[in-house]
Amino acid sequence: MASDDIKPHAGGTEPDYRFTLANERTFLAWLRTALGLLAGGVAVHQLVPSPAAASGVLAGLCVVLAAVLAATAYPRWRRVQVAMRAGEPLPRSLMILVLTGGLLVLIVAAAVLLAVS
């Protein structure tokens, strides 16, 4: 049975509440980051006085990155919760690399947009 098939509160032992709360804070931090990127995408689309295509691409990148982060936050929380209950090592996350790469692309796109306009 894969760890994704296990309910987060079924089986295993109850982890120290501080670890559960830390896992929840991390989940909420991913959601806040996604919300910030979404707000940034909307702001770029509405407020940046540049060619519509360029600001649309930049806004779209923000929204896509926000959607990816929001979509992966809960599965990550669940995998960590199941691992803590089972006493297993915590799973690694590729989202740190995805977020770093996505932000790097956004920064380069914004720099190009500023240089062109």
Residue type, 78: R
Higher-confidence residue of 72 and 109: namely: 72
pLDDT tier for residue 1 given thresholds of 50, 70 and 90: very low
Instruction: Please name which of 52, 114, 26 lies closest in space to residue 60, comparing C-alpha atoms.
Output: 52
Share of the chain above pLDDT 70, in %: 91
Q: Parse the chain into domains and list their residue ranges.
A: 16-116
Alpha-carbon span 21 to 42, nearest angstrom: 31
Average pLDDT over residues 13-37: 95
Share of the chain above pLDDT 90, in %: 68
Token pair, residue 19, equals: 């670890």
Alpha-carbon span 91 to 110, nearest angstrom: 33
Average pLDDT, the chain: 89
pLDDT of 2 strictly over 90 = no
In this prediction the pTM is 0.82
